[in-house]
Structure 1
Amino acid sequence: MSNTLFEKGGERMVPHYFEQISTLESDYDEILHLTANENVMSDLALHFYRSKLAHRYNMGEGVDGVFVHSNFAAKGMPEISELINDASVRLKVMLNAGLVNLNCLSGVHAMISVLLSTTDPGDRIMTVSSKHGGHFCTKGIVERSGRGHVFAEYDHANITFSVDGIAEIFKKNNCKALYLDTSVLLKPHPIKLLREALGNEAIIIYDASHTIGLIMGGKFQSPLLEGANIIVANTHKTLPGPHHGLIAFRDEADAQDFNKIIHNNFYSSTHINSVIALAITIIEMDIWGKEYADQIVRNSNHLGSCLEQYGYNVRKLGQNRFTENHQLHVYINEENKIIVKRFLDNNMSVNTSKALGNDLFLRLGLQEVTRRGMKEKDIEQIAVFIKKILRDEYVKKDVIDFNSKFINVNYGFGMEHIHKPMVFNS
């Protein structure tokens, strides 16, 4: 049957949308990304992310190359086991975890897997309201799965969660789990205090989608050491991997039960190209993560200082300290769509938010520019661009010229590692 989308007047045509997508890919390379929710993979991770193995199922290593489950048998993938095991061991050390799971397809998939494996229908779960930075879909997932739901209390004055308020609501509603799904934050959560206030039976789940790379680099907090039971995260923000998900459990004994439920019910194919790319990124973090995480936080605070000197109102944690992670919050007085469009017209991409109050701010993220090798002197130039754009000056050519100087990915493996052994100190 003829595909009329690809033919016109008897001639085969290339649909315009292929060209549009190709152009979009090129355009993205010229954009200076200051979004808090994106990053770039290393050349080696990206190479294997594009692998032909993406066509194939990875059901497990198997025995003698054959994976068997009940009456189903298929080719296993023992060839990738050494890489996955190496990455898993390193990740456990970086997160102080007893067991990790790299098989979830996204952060939301990891969230669903954990919520449904640690609780039962009828249990009540506490999550974070979107006005306090929580994920927009968590409440719906909880309620659609037959669980009860309440929101956590937030302390706006101190830009953190209210421990006393959470404890009161949690106990009054007989909650089983606290899920801290925060995407707008500047400093660590009070996990130790929450554990003390909620008691040992409460399940504390820490969504580290934004800060997992900083945690792995030892630059934020260590949630599992501080009292959380489980870490859930996507893997493409401060952790510069593919769009994927991971779970880390504090206690191996409990994790075995939860992980068995997840393995048997919530995924089959693990999207092996993503798992390989993620494993490579985890090893990169073990090697370069401390340096990378430290530079992210220094860049974030330096940009805050520059913008404050230019007269902008930047949210602060205290004197001369704007953030403890990759995010920087700069208050603005214009409509969010207008201000984002103005930045895009100048080849800069930003996020906005009204969380943690009702005032609109730019939620800037310094993780990607750091991954591209930018340091304090470069951040000063970015501050100049931001100042000019907020004044409605046109700086597109200058932004493109500046951004073109940072085409390489730092703190990661290059393609040369395919052709020679990796040599590093672990």
Structure 2
Amino acid sequence: MLRRSVARQARILDGSILLTPVDSFALHDPPDAALDRLEGLYATDRPRGLEDNLKSKILFSGRRRLSHDITAIYRQWSEALAADDLSMRLLSGLHAHATIFMGLGRVGETVFLLPEKAGGHFATAGILERLGYRVVEPPIDLERHRVDMERAKRLVDGSILFIDRSEGLVYEDFGPLTENPALYCVHDASQYLPAILTGRYRSPFAMGFDLLISTLHKSFPGPQKALVATRTRDERWERVKRVMSQFVSSHHVRSTYLAGLGLEDMGRLERYTDRFLENAVALEQALADLGIDVVRRAADAPPTQHLWIRFDSAEAAYEACRRLELCRIHSNYRLLPYGLGYGLRLGTTAATLQGLRPTHVPRLAQLLGDILSGGFTLSRRHAVRELASAMADSDDLRCPSPPSPVLFGGVP
């Protein structure tokens, strides 16, 4: 029964268009069955010498090659991010938030946190408060949909700055806030990682952040995994590593290999990044041309893959989401930031991996307009399926025959 359910869902996805900003597909199919054999194995992500091995409370034999490859993958990613050190022990962004902040600070310490109303993740403040932190929010410019940097610089309070941006139409430079030498600065780059890796966005490290967190299964088209990277190996980083080692027992090596494979072809990653950003800007303009109440992004900062459509009420926004769903266009119904009310959150990452190009955008916008105004019909669902098929036929990003997974040098 489960196999039939999975097969049916795959068929439906093939005839759907995913305009959700947190879904992604790998740039290649799973490499081969050999990598699947590693799924359940325990392995350390740090090769150890004899003295460290003797001091270990538990040690798994036969994993020397795995640890060697994991170290090589870490080195590969550290170089790509200009990081001094990096770990991929964690599984997701919120998993990273909870685990890292168990080691990063102390009970009672203050975190200057990007709030939900400015695009911060809705769960982060609750996690930090549960861990015993005092949370303070920076002032927001609601009209410009950004942090009010000048006021925030004057009012900044606390010993840790955490920019956990899960929403935003532009990529903001938070460098003015990191200039405070008393702050230890953390940036969650889950929505921006491909553009950071390819140089389209300024790196958080270049802005002055000390720690970078990111998932590898949102904007980056990789496996279920989170990374944590440090600009400098300092005392706080050592505390974070100790906590990750203490609270994360299995490294999940298969996902780490897939993360390494995801950096194999930087040219393809660049094409993907440029295309999903171009698709987002083109779709925003096409929807505006049709009279749809899409929130327009400012032109003075780099665009993101996000789009927001406003509605008069939560009920109207939910009905719009359901209409699109019935026609097999996926979106997010949610409370938008900056006091915009309930609406639809769209994104172009997954659709780009389905083959969406700017040439498809006018037809996609027209379908969105027809469905939002006229609701579900079988003919509109068929039209979505036809566009999804046309997108798939033009796909030049996802590789059906990836190379061998054994790529990172080796030891016997």
What secondary structure, in the 3-state scheme, does the structure 2 residue paired with 1:134 have?
Answer: coil
Match of residue 191, structure 1, among 165, 174, 178: 174
Counterpart amino acid of 2:305?
Answer: H
Deviation at 1:396, TM superposition (A): 0.4
1:392 paired to 2:377: no
8 Å Cα contact 2:42-2:60 kept in structure 1: no
Deviation at 1:381, TM superposition (A): 1.8
Instruction: Give a deviation string over 1:35-54, Cα, whole Å, max 9, x none.
Output: 01110013344657971321
1:418 paired to 2:404: yes
Match of residue 231, structure 1, among 199, 202, 212: 212
1:337 paired to 2:322: no
Matches within 5 A, 1:250-399: 250-254=231-235, 256-284=237-265, 286-318=266-298, 324-333=303-312, 335=315, 336-353=317-334, 354-393=336-375, 394=377, 395-399=380-384
1:203 paired to 2:184: yes
Match of residue 90, structure 1, among 70, 76, 89: 76
Matches within 5 A, 1:145-224: 145-171=131-157, 175-196=158-179, 199-224=180-205
1:144 paired to 2:130: yes
Counterpart amino acid of 2:356?
Answer: M
Question: What is residue 244 of structure 1 aligned with on the other side?
Answer: 225
Question: Structure 1 residues 68 and 219, CA, compared in 2 at 3 Å: closer, same or farther?
Answer: farther
8 Å Cα contact 2:44-2:67 kept in structure 1: no
Counterpart amino acid of 2:164?
Answer: D
1:110 paired to 2:128: no
TM-score (normalised: structure 2): 0.87
Deviation at 1:116, TM superposition (A): 2.2
Deviation at 1:254, TM superposition (A): 4.7
8 Å Cα contact 2:118-2:145 kept in structure 1: no
8 Å Cα contact 1:61-1:67 kept in structure 2: no
8 Å Cα contact 2:43-2:60 kept in structure 1: no
Question: What is residue 57 of structure 1 aligned with on the other side?
Answer: 42
Question: What is residue 58 of structure 2 aligned with on the other side?
Answer: 72
State the alpha-carbon separation in 2 of the partners of residues 112 and 313 from structure 1.
Answer: 37
Counterpart amino acid of 1:221?
Answer: R
Counterpart amino acid of 1:273?
Answer: R
Deviation at 1:183, TM superposition (A): 1.1
8 Å Cα contact 2:96-2:213 kept in structure 1: yes
What secondary structure, in the 3-state scheme, does the structure 1 residue paired with 2:390 have?
Answer: coil
What secondary structure, in the 3-state scheme, does the structure 2 residue paired with 1:241 have?
Answer: coil
State the alpha-carbon separation in 1 of the partners of residues 264 and 284 from structure 2.
Answer: 31
What secondary structure, in the 3-state scheme, does the structure 1 residue paired with 2:374 have?
Answer: coil
8 Å Cα contact 1:232-1:246 kept in structure 2: yes
8 Å Cα contact 1:100-1:248 kept in structure 2: yes
CA RMSD of aligned residues (A): 2.9
State the alpha-carbon separation in 2 of the partners of residues 273 and 420 from structure 1.
Answer: 12
Question: What is residue 32 of structure 1 aligned with on the other side?
Answer: 17
Question: Structure 1 residues 330 and 149, CA, compared in 2 at 3 Å: closer, same or farther?
Answer: same
TM-score (normalised: structure 1): 0.84
Q: Which moved more, 1:24-33 or 1:230-239?
A: 24-33
**Alignment coverage as a number of residue pairs:** 400
Residue segments in structure 2 that go unaligned for 5+ positions in a row = none
Q: Which moved more, 1:275-284 or 1:253-262?
A: 253-262
State the alpha-carbon separation in 1 of the partners of residues 365 and 151 from structure 2.
Answer: 38
Counterpart amino acid of 1:309?
Answer: D
What secondary structure, in the 3-state scheme, does the structure 2 residue paired with 1:231 have?
Answer: strand
Deviation at 1:234, TM superposition (A): 1.2
What secondary structure, in the 3-state scheme, does the structure 2 residue paired with 1:73 have?
Answer: coil
